[in-house]
Structure 1
Amino acid sequence: MPAPQNTIALVYDYDQTLSPSYMQDDVLFPQFGIDPKSFWEKCNALCTEDNWDGELAYMHTLLHYLDMDQVSNARLTELGANLKFFPGVEAYFEEIENAVLRDHHRAADIHLEHYIVSSGLKALLDGSKLTKYTKAIYGCEFGENAHGQIAYPKRTISHTTKTQYLFRINKGMLSYDQDVNDHMPSSLRPIPFENMIYVGDGPTDVPCFTVMKKTGGRAIAVYNPDDPSRASFKKCYQLCAHADRVKHIAPADYRCGSHLRLIIEQMIGEVADRMLRLQKDEKDQGTVSAPKF
């Protein structure tokens, strides 16, 4: 039996997309007195001198710095409560569905779901104020030793492996005990890519932008308008004007009436209206008129 396919999925990167700060800089380094410059130099040295994977390098380095503090995942989650966001983010998650979907959409059971897919730490995001709005959060994870202390990288998410989670959302296989590589006909996939919107900030999101473009999904690249170097804007401009990865770029301002908010609302409205048309077409095609007398 075909899946209902009445869900619109909004998928977000985190660092530089929902927040102007990297989550480590925001809540982790200040708490444990870690110097960001020294930390990232050590990470980069592992990558350039020993060819480490970037995410494994920063998780390994973080374990080294936190070893004496005996930090648990629960402690990281507590720190996540202090994560800060771009203007309007919390209100946006609270308001966006009611701001766009109308009674005729709701009558067809069309609704939104929010997902975060990040190369940052899942434990921090799990403690954030955004958790209550999300269907699922994916990020890098630490495993713990017998004493409850983070002791080894359990899972990493790189800019290329992020695409796995788009397919998990597409197939409704949100749990790691489900093999996302299992074949599933398109009619059984609860969220077609055409019903998906991806929001990211730059080159690390290129694989996800590419999946969206190839499958009929939609994507937006956001930049920090308060970045005096304009580096944030330039990388988004490059993705749009020269690399042809996205059609839309906007300042990371999620407040009502902002450029970004208008784009997202327009996209949601268009997807919802297309879903209604498809439902009507399926009903019309499946209806056989009774004989006339």
Structure 2
Amino acid sequence: MAAPQNKIALVFDYDQTLSPRYMQDDVVFPEFGIDPEQFWKKCNTLVHDEQWDGEMAYLKCLLDYLEMDRVTNKRLEELGAGLNFFPGVPEIFDDLHKGILKPEHEAAGIEIEYYIISSGLKALLDGSRLKNKVKAIFGCEFGENASGHIAFPKRAISHTTKTQFLFRINKGMLDYSQDVNDHMPPELRPVPFDNMVYVGDGPTDVPCFTVITRNGGHGIAVYNPEDKSGRSFGKCFQLCAHANRVKHIAPADYREGSHLWLLLSEMVREIADRVLRNRQDERDRGTVSAPTF
């Protein structure tokens, strides 16, 4: 028996997608007196001179800087309460479905689910105002030593491994105890890719954009309209005009009535209507007319 496939997944990157600032710049560096320029210089040295993976270099440097402060994951969660977002976040997670999903959609069990896939720290996001607005948050994690202090990377999520979590959403395997590589026929997957919308900000989101768009879903690249340098917009323009990774770009303004709000609304409405049509087609194909006189 096929799965209902009536879930619509809106999946977001975090840094420079939901927030204008990197999360560590927002709350970690100021809290512990870390100089951002020196921090990133150290990270870049590991990446370029010693060929470290970018995310592992970032986690290694963060552990080095925080070692003397004996930081716990709980402390990081507490700092997450101070994260700042683009306009309209987190309100969009409560309000977007209003006026989009009609009674007939809701009667068919069609729902919107929200997810965040980030190369930033999950602990910070778990302590933020976003935690109870989304179905799942995937991010880098630290393990703790016997004293309860963060001491080693537990999970690193790079721009390429982000795609694993799209498949977790696709298959409904959100728990790490579930092996996402297990075979599952497409008709049994609760969230098909063409029921997904992925929102990101630049080159690090290319693998996710590619998986989504090649499988019939939607991608939106967002830029910071307050960035006077134009670099934020330039990244999105390249993805759209030259790399053919996305069809849509928009300012990162999530308030009702904004360009981005309208894009998301139309995409969700289109998916919901298609799910309804497919349901009706299945009923029509499965119905055998009674004999007539």
TM-score bracket relative to the smaller structure? over 0.9
Unpaired segments ≥5 residues, structure 1: none
Q: Report the equivalent of 2:24.
A: 24
Contact 2:160-2:207 within 8 A present in 1 as well: yes
Deviations 1:249-288 (A, max 9, x none): 0000000110000000000000000000000000110111
Q: What residue number does 1:243 align with?
A: 243
1:133 Cα offset (Å) = 1.0
Aligned residue pairs total 293
SS at structure 2 position matched to 1:97: coil
Q: Is the 8 A contact 2:223 2:233 kept in 1?
A: yes
1:134-158 deviation digits (Å, cap 9, x = unpaired): 1100000000000000000010000
Kindly provide the CA deviation profile for residues 221-240 of structure 1, in whole angstroms up to 9, marking residues without a partner as x. Answer: 00000001000000100100
Equivalence for 1:13: 13
Which whole-Å deviations, capped at 9, do the CAs of 1:166-211 have from their partners, x for residues lacking one?
A: 0000000101111111110011100000100000000000000100
Paired residue for 1:271?
A: 271
Is the CA contact (8 Å cut-off) linking 2:5 and 2:190 kept in structure 1?
yes
CA distance in 2, matches of 1:89, 1:47: 33
SS of the aligned residue for 1:181 comes to coil
Please identify, of 193-202 and 98-107, the stretch whose mean Cα deviation from structure 2 is larger.
98-107
Matches of 1:114 and 1:88, distance apart in 2? 15
Shift of 1:100: 1.3
Q: Distance in 2 between matches of 1:93 and 1:174?
A: 19
CA distance in 2, matches of 1:121, 1:172: 23
Given that 2:90 and 2:133 are in contact with CA atoms closer than 8 Å, whether structure 1 keeps it comes out as no
Q: CA deviation at 1:99?
A: 3.3
* Amino acid aligned to 1:33: G
Residues 1:181 and 2:145 aligned together: no
User: Secondary structure in 2 aligned to 1:98?
Assistant: coil
Counterparts of 1:178 and 1:12 in 2: how far apart (Å)?
22
Q: Which residue of the partner structure matches residue 138 of structure 1?
A: 138
Q: Which amino acid aligns with 2:113?
A: E
Does structure 1 retain, via aligned residues, the 8 Å contact 2:97–2:112? yes
Amino acid in the other structure paired with 1:32: F
Helix, strand or coil at the partner of 1:166: helix
| Cross-structure match for 2:209 | 209
> Match for residue 104 of structure 2?
104
SS at match of 2:154: strand
**Who is 2:149 aligned against?**
149
- CA deviation after TM superposition for structure 1 residue 292, in Å: 1.1
Deviation at 1:97? Answer: 1.3
Q: Equivalents in 2 of 1:8, 1:93: separation in Å?
A: 13
Residue 90, structure 1, aligned to residue 68, structure 2? no
Residue 97 of structure 2: SS of its match in structure 1? helix
Q: Alignment partner of 1:93: what SS?
A: helix
- Asked whether the 8 Å contact 2:72–2:150 carries over to 1, the reply is yes
* TM-score where L is the length of structure 2: 0.99
Where does residue 230 of structure 1 map in the other structure?
230
Matched to 1:230, the amino acid is: G
- SS at structure 2 position matched to 1:164: helix
TM-score, length-scaled by structure 1: 0.99
Note the alpha carbon deviations across 1:105-128, whole angstroms, 9 max, x for none.
101110000000000000000011
Report the alpha carbon displacement of residue 98 of structure 1 after superposing the two structures with TM: 1.7
What letter is aligned with 1:87? P
Q: Distance in 2 between matches of 1:197 and 1:147?
A: 42
**CA contact under 8 A between 2:201 and 2:222: conserved in structure 1?**
yes
Match of 2:70 in 1: 70
Residue in structure 1 matched with residue 47 of structure 2 by the alignment: 47
